[in-house]
Amino acid sequence: MKKRLPPLNWLRAFEASARHLNFTQAAAELSLTQAAISQQVKGLESQLGTNLFKRLPRGLELTEAGQAYMPVIHDSIERLAAATDELFGQGRKRPITVRVNLVFFTTWLAPRLGRFRAAHPEVGLHFTSNIWLDERGKEANMEIRYGKGNWAGLRSVQLTYDELFPVCSPRLLCGQLPPASPAELCADSMLHVIGYEEGWGYWLNKTGFPLVDASQGMQFDTLITALEMAVRGHGMALGRSSLVAEMVADGRLIAPFTQRIPASEAFHLSCPSNMQLSPHGETFWAWLVEESTHSSCSVLPPSEPTRLV
């Protein structure tokens, strides 16, 4: 059975009257008449089945029930007012909602966001993951997605220009060293990501190792989980230069082979073709494009195979 809550205006009338212990002052605060406040309090008392005030010749006094009820109602109204002001306060601009690929946010965008927030503290940002494709995407102002950039109904700009190459921990589990050549790859050691066209089979064919079995190994639905497993020594993931640069630079991952191929898929910033971005949306869009230009000029350089002894 649903619990019947009193009307909000009755509760506001009670809370203001309880603070002032005076119907007239409560009426002035709420821009109502004293009679209206008195009537609303009586309605609340009638619904609750108990008196909340003692009506005295020179004012009001809370009954025991009123004293118990007042802190709960006061706190609830304060929290409701604070939340309303935070989300919809006068002069407050709605945040930009950006739907973003999780691995791109974690490895590329998050390390750079401090610069944007320092330069544009007035711009509110709301990020949501696009791991699953569903109707929530319609609520986003823009999206960062992976693919070839030819999506119907969207305008997009390419943010990354990647090379594909295997990465792994300096030492695999049980102290094993990474293989010296792609020809020595074990199928069980390959960490696969579902949904990427340019996976292990693609990379092996393009680099001249089509006979290496790529049919086995663990599978993941996000690249970030595959990279985390690679960092922990569980196998070898197929890295994209824009995403693994920091992990290679700080030694969490190594690139044991020299073979690299350019990726035809990339991360793109997109929004509906018919959408007019807000000024803050345009600011964030321009910043992302500028950051991508800088990052593409500093692609992870080729390295010699790393062998540990």
Q: Does 30 lie in the same domain as 147?
A: no
Is the pLDDT score of 309 beyond 60? no
How much is the pLDDT for 308?
35
pLDDT per residue over 93-140, tens digit each? 678 899 998 899 999 999 999 999 999 998 999 998 876 555 444 578
Q: Does 190 lie in the same domain as 56?
A: no
Q: Does 16 lie in the same domain as 69?
A: yes
Q: Is 301 inside a domain boundary?
A: no
Q: How confident is the model at residue 3 (pLDDT cuts 50, 70, 90)?
A: low
Q: Which of 59, 88, 117 is the last residue of a domain?
A: 88
Q: Is 306 inside a domain boundary?
A: no
Token representation of residue 92:
């407050």
Q: Does 81 lie in the same domain as 13?
A: yes
Q: Does 61 lie in the same domain as 136?
A: no
Q: Is 1 inside a domain boundary?
A: no
The residue among 301 and 196 whose pLDDT is bigger is: 196
Q: Which of 68, 88, 108 is the last residue of a domain?
A: 88
Q: Does 154 lie in the same domain as 275?
A: yes
Distance CA 53, CA 17 (A): 9
Q: Does 189 lie in the same domain as 254?
A: yes
Q: Is 3 inside a domain boundary?
A: no
Q: Is 304 inside a domain boundary?
A: no
**Domain with 65 in it:** 8-88
Q: Does 140 lie in the same domain as 277?
A: yes
Return the CATH number at 149.
3.40.190.10
Q: How confident is the model at residue 195 (pLDDT cuts 50, 70, 90)?
A: confident
Q: Is 284 inside a domain boundary?
A: yes
Is the pLDDT score of 21 beyond 80? yes
How much is the pLDDT for 44?
94
How many domains would you assign to the chain? 3
Distance CA 253, CA 246 (A): 9
Q: Does 249 lie in the same domain as 107?
A: no
Is the pLDDT score of 228 beyond 90? yes
Q: Does 233 lie in the same domain as 211?
A: yes
**Cβ contacts of residue 214 below 8 Å, gap of 6+?**
187, 190, 192, 199, 200, 201, 204
Is the pLDDT score of 307 beyond 80? no
How much is the pLDDT for 139?
72
How much is the pLDDT for 25?
93
Distance CA 2, CA 132 (A): 34
Is the pLDDT score of 204 beyond 70? yes
Q: Is 308 inside a domain boundary?
A: no
Return the CATH number at 19.
1.10.10.10
Distance CA 22, CA 59 (A): 6
Q: Is 178 inside a domain boundary?
A: yes
Q: Does 250 lie in the same domain as 180?
A: yes
Q: Does 101 lie in the same domain as 67?
A: no
